[in-house]
Structure 1
């Protein structure tokens, strides 16, 4: 390694941009190079630390004596002063280098713990057991993420879509389900969170235990929920409402059943799109405001369309994953 390469390593070190491998190389090169090569580099290094804490005279003498005992050097004032400066520079370099090494390792460990584990459900529900023993069932095309150090200090997950949680009780660490609009905080309980980003509302339905639901944006609101109650958050109105619920409708998807109760046809079609991975094209939007109550457990979307067209008097054409609905003209 030539002089310029050694200088570049020192510069990287001073700027805090040196890698672990480069730092170890720098240490090795300092030991290998002659004093003549190192002198201008160390002098520049010394000048970078104008606010250093001066060594005591005793420590200076001790360092100088040790250096003289291992090297055949003249005892002139210039060499004495220069080697004390070099010794101080070495102390600064390698003391800070040790700190750099520890800092680098801590940074790497921090980055590892901050990495997210992401679990995504495909076209059917998926079951997960979290590191703390909590059971989660994700609905189709939903995702759950959590930090890789989940459970060490905190138990926090982020949900997009719909998930059913049976939380392992832990009095010391609260379990939190985060969405883009509300947080649900529990110790141990069973509940369902419906939080699809493309829908106008979020729901949290409680089956067992007790939970607290908080909005995450101002004005902040908080509700304590009991079993057979659910919280509905309206995105458009920024409204948080507590309702009574028997939970049958909210958890019907766990049995692969779609249940609708006084829901608009638009909402029904949205749910069918998500479950069967199709896209509806409706020629007459007047149809979409009609109300539907009923349940579907059919495996084939065509069977459901045959039921719906009896109620709403429409015709349909299916082309691959696209379904076109057109209101039937009565003779």
Structure 2
């Protein structure tokens, strides 16, 4: 069956039963929205003749896989950040995969050492600044967010959101828990308001004068620029690639994993390898203003116009390993309080 772009279709897909094994098919559980996947999956079917069946959900796929156990029809899980991928690994829901094609197309720091997950796209965790109230170059690193000159001038979403947990995890990897706790406490002291909303809401807050600085994923900014209603808001901020002159900007990923149950394993591996190919990487990255995970594919469109991003070369697996420590730090400093 082919995917539809409507919300009603997405809901229908969520409730639709799947045949575990079907010749010439592959079953996908996805945190990624339907409109982002449709062109990719259509291209895969056109090339291979293999049909794709999709269950979309905003949350709870790990719990669903656990309930279904070995009888799960899911072959693949597509996720939207390293925290959700880590949950799948920790619960032993995804399988090892040793694919020469995947290992060739996806850099070592963007995949699990045993092939339990692979990145498909990356997005930078950027700093956004008011064009009117912050001089260019006045802030250039994540560490600068703790400077007391920004007291009352920073907005963020919840510290417990997976995107911020991943950033804090990367800070732990670079600076250790003690120094990161101090940094996080200082950032909290600089907040203009209690953490709330999503990444787009932080950019809106800058435009409304609530704060002067925010943190957000690069693709949210890109999507706002492509929306004629949100473009005027997005155009009121500058984007900063933090730590561009030293270790590089923290990146998160959308990723893919082979499930332990995988009744259509061979078809699933074919899809994973297809999604890592240059042609699919271009489609996938362009659909959501993201960066291709395959280093042989260059960014295009708006993303290319922003200039080159130097990503932090830190292994995403190391970030995943620090996730629980990051959650403890958020609680300890009462960041959302």
TM-score by length of 2: 0.26
Structure number with higher relative contact order (C-alpha < 8 Å, ≥ 6 residues apart): 2
Which structure is larger by alpha-carbon Rg, 1 or 2?
1
Which has the larger share of helix?
A: 2
Q: Which has the higher strand share?
A: 1
